[in-house]
């Protein structure tokens, strides 16, 4: 499915999210390295086997100067909306208003089980996400004079994306295929992603030019032989080698080839905000340099 090109082409922004951190010293080094390499955003995921997001983003802001810091993304269902709003306000103030607030419904049932929490059905988790957004908006609308952090909502289901189109400054597409609720899942192919982007665009309406589209890159492979690398990698997460070469969630090639592909993906899908995992912090850096 081909999408109509947005006439206002956004400049790229590049983020890295910290998921493989072993110590305070390691996190500091990676954050400072990310700043030196030109990343625009340093993010922290919200999974039980990773560092707690709010303390980590506050440390990231403390040891850097330029990048934004982000929750990439919070599992809203883990949090009481009022307490979450309080933590968001504190984190935004203590990072000198550098926070980008990423929110999602949560999708890993095993994490709810590990916490001793009931696993709500998808509609209930979406309800909770919507209540959380409303409470955060209410808290920042008070007489405190603090601007609300940009809201970044990530998902793939119709209702989540409608909420994102109505509420968010940044919309993240997970890149997952249908049927992944409750576990790590397969990746959507290019047509599947294009359909989700078209759905978002249809609901954004006049807001389209003011909203940034984000995609999380699952794998970066810098190589001079794209076809061989894709053949060795695939099939992976349900994608064939040919499909792996044509999706923005997997980037394979030389820095120039990947850069040109990201330009193509920006025109085709609208993705201008690209986030990679910290496993590929250095590997992706030449792509940033090429596109800058």
- Percentage of residues in the chain with pLDDT exceeding 90? 87
pLDDT of residue 143: 75
**Total domain count for the chain?**
1
Residue 2 lies in a domain: no
Tell me the HSE value of 7 on the side-chain side, using a 13 A CA sphere.
1
pLDDT-based confidence at 287, cuts 50/70/90? very high
Residue 257 lies in a domain: no
Q: At 146, which CATH number?
A: 3.20.20.30
Q: Exposure of 96 by Cβ count < 10 A (0-12 exposed, 13-18 middle, 19+ buried)?
A: exposed
235 and 250 Cβ atoms separated by less than 8 Å: no
Parent domain of 99: 13-215+269-291
pLDDT of residue 177: 85
Q: Report how far residue 201's alpha carbon sits from residue 76's, in angstroms, rounded to the nearest whole number.
A: 24
**Closest to 132 measured CA to CA, from 162, 110, 153:** 153
Residue 252 lies in a domain: no
What's the mean pLDDT in 259-263? 98
Q: What is the pLDDT of residues 138-155, one digit of tens each?
A: 999 977 778 999 999 999
What's the mean pLDDT in 223-229? 97
- Does pLDDT of 183 surpass 70? no
Residue 261 lies in a domain: no
Q: What is the pLDDT of residues 48-84, one digit of tens each?
A: 989 999 999 999 999 999 999 999 999 999 999 999 9
Q: Report how far residue 17's alpha carbon sits from residue 163's, in angstroms, rounded to the nearest whole number.
A: 24
Reported pTM:
0.94
Q: Report how far residue 250's alpha carbon sits from residue 220's, in angstroms, rounded to the nearest whole number.
A: 6
Region for 238 from its dihedrals, namely left if φ exceeds 0, alpha if ψ lies in -120 to 50, beta otherwise: left
What's the mean pLDDT in 152-169? 97
- Does pLDDT of 237 surpass 90? no
Residue 137 lies in a domain: yes
Residue 48 lies in a domain: yes
Other C-beta atoms closer than 10 Å to the C-beta of 189 total 18
Residue 85 lies in a domain: yes
């Amino acid at each position: 499915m081909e999408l109509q090109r947005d006439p206002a082409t956004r400049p790229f922004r590049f983020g890295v999210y910290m998921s493989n951190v072993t110590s305070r010293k390691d996190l500091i080094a990676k954050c400072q390295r990310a700043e030196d390499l030109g990343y625009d955003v340093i993010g922290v995921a919200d999974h039980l086997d990773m560092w707690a997001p709010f303390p980590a983003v506050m440390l990231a802001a403390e040891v850097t100067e330029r990048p934004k810091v982000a929750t990439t993304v919070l599992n809203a269902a883990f949090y009481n909306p009022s307490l979450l709003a309080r933590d968001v306000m504190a984190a935004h103030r203590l990072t000198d208003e550098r926070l980008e607030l990423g929110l999602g419904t949560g999708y890993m049932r095993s994490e709810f089980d590990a916490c001793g929490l009931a696993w709500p059905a998808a509609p209930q988790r979406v309800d909770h996400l919507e209540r959380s957004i409303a409470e955060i908006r209410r808290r920042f609308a008070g007489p405190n004079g603090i601007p609300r952090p940009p809201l970044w909502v990530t998902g793939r289901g119709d209702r989540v994306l409608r909420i994102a189109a109505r509420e968010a400054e940044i919309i993240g597409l997970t890149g997952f295929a249908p049927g992944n609720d409750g576990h790590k899942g397969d990746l959507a192919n290019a047509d599947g992603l294009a359909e989700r982007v078209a759905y978002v665009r249809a609901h954004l309406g006049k807001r389209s030019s003011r909203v940034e589209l984000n995609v999380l890159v699952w794998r970066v492979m810098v190589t001079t032989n794209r076809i061989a690398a894709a053949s060795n990698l695939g099939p992976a997460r349900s994608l064939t080698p040919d499909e792996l070469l044509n999706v923005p969630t997997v980037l394979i090639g030389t820095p120039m080839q990947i850069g040109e592909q990201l330009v193509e993906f920006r025109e085709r899908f609208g993705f201008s905000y690209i986030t990679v995992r910290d496993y590929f912090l250095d590997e992706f850096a030449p792509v940033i340099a090429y596109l800058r």
